[in-house]
Amino acid sequence: MDTLMRNIPQHVAIIMDGNGRYAKRLGMPRIKGHQEGMENVRRIALTANECGVKYLTLFAFSTENWTRPSKEVSFLMKLPGNFLGKFLPELKDKNIKIRTIGNFDGLPKHTQKSVSKAVLETAENSGMELIFALNYGSRDEIIHAVKSVVESVQNGDTAIEDINNEFFSQHLFTKDVPDPEILIRTSGEYRISNFLLWQISYSELFFANESWPEFTPENFEDILSQYQKRERRFGGLKEE
Ligand code: FPP
């Protein structure tokens, strides 16, 4: 833990992949894998918080996931409510703040209700921000941002010359959140799957072989210490 205390990333993003395959391997229905994945959200969120991570963004439901069988979709839509019903008191106790990115209005009303309640009840918390990407797609997010920038130019609030990286970032769902230093994908797949495309421009990528339900706090801490050994140059040169 000693080395872990140094150079802790502010923001870690995770693609929680492999719930379905995990369940299948154990002869269980896919939704059981999602259920165990939900339990692991608690474990990893608490670990990240203890390590001093300031923002943890979790890909919980993508804009593409609606094409899954309707039974699985409705189970996935119940998970935020189940998770918060079970763990919100503990998260509040740890001063964790809940927020979301994605097309919130496109979620079922019951999902919106339980998540909004948690967002509201933790709004004043100053600890780690636990950000759920729900009905999230990066291309959607970028289009949404472009529309908002164009509107601002058309209204006369913004001059075209003033549009730069920083300005554009402020129109994304992740407004006011620093870019992730680390992106993790579990379950041995090497894809980004439309997650935070703008924000991960310079992120360090880690691919874990474990499926999400099996990804342990030790795996998480191991990635943090590997990160601490990586040299980040942001397109520049190593300092002499
Ligand atoms: C991808 O695994 C995972 C998902 C589509 C859902 C992820 C959601 C959770 C882990 C729980 C969310 C919890 C909260 C609190 C919102 P997959 O099913 O695509 O795995 P597979 O590739 O093995 O089929």
User: What confidence tens digit (pLDDT) does each residue in 81-110 have?
Assistant: 999 999 999 999 999 999 999 999 999 999
Residues 138-195 pLDDT 10s = 999 999 999 999 999 999 999 999 999 999 999 999 999 999 999 999 999 999 999 9
Going from the Cα of 212 to the center of ligand 1, the distance in angstroms, rounded, reads: 8
Q: Is 212 in the pocket of ligand 1 (CB under 6 A)?
A: yes
pLDDT of residue 230: 85
Residue 5 banded pLDDT, cuts 50, 70, 90: low
Q: For residue 13, what pLDDT band results from cuts at 50, 70 and 90? A: very high
How far is Cα of residue 101 from the mean position of the Cα atoms in its chain?
A: 8
**Band of residue 240 on the pLDDT scale cut at 50, 70, 90:** low
Q: Does residue 41 have its Cβ closer than 6 Å to ligand 1?
A: yes
Q: In the structure encoding, which two tokens stand for residue 33, read together?
A: 């894998």
- Please give the model's pTM, rounded to 2 decimal places: 0.95
Predicted confidence at residue 239, as pLDDT, reads 62
pLDDT of the residue at 237: 81
What confidence score (pLDDT) does residue 56 get? 99
User: Over 60: is that where the pLDDT of 2 sits?
Assistant: no
CB burial readout 144-171, b (16+ within 10 A) else e: bbeeebeebeeeeeeeeeeeeeeeebeb
Mutate to test the pocket of ligand 1, among 17, 42, 57 (most ligand atoms within 8 A of CB): 17
Distances (CA, A) of 136 to 196, 206, 229, 237: 9, 21, 31, 35
Residue located nearest, by CA, to atom 16 of ligand 1: 80
Q: Is 44 in the pocket of ligand 1 (CB under 6 A)?
A: no
The pLDDT confidence band at residue 68, using thresholds 50, 70 and 90, is very high
CB 137 near ligand 1, within 6 Å:
no
How high is the mean pLDDT of the chain? 96
Instruction: Give the number of the atom of ligand 1 that is nearest the alpha carbon of residue 37.
Output: 10
Q: CA–CA separation, 210 vs 216, rounded Å?
A: 9
Q: What is the predicted pLDDT for the residue at 6?
A: 77
Q: Which of 5-19, 24-38, 146-160, 183-197 has the lowest mean pLDDT?
A: 5-19
d(CA 37, ligand 1 centre) in Å? 7
The answer to whether the CB of 20 is under 6 A from ligand 1 is yes
Ligand 1 center to 181 CA (angstroms): 22
Percent of the chain with pLDDT over 70: 97
pLDDT at res. 234: 81
CA–CA distance, 52 with 17 (Å, rounded to integer)? 24
**Which residues are catalytic, by number?**
17, 65
For the chain, give the percent of residues with pLDDT over 90: 92
Cα–ligand 1 centroid distance for 214 (angstroms): 12
- Distance from residue 10's CA to the centre of ligand 1 (Å): 24
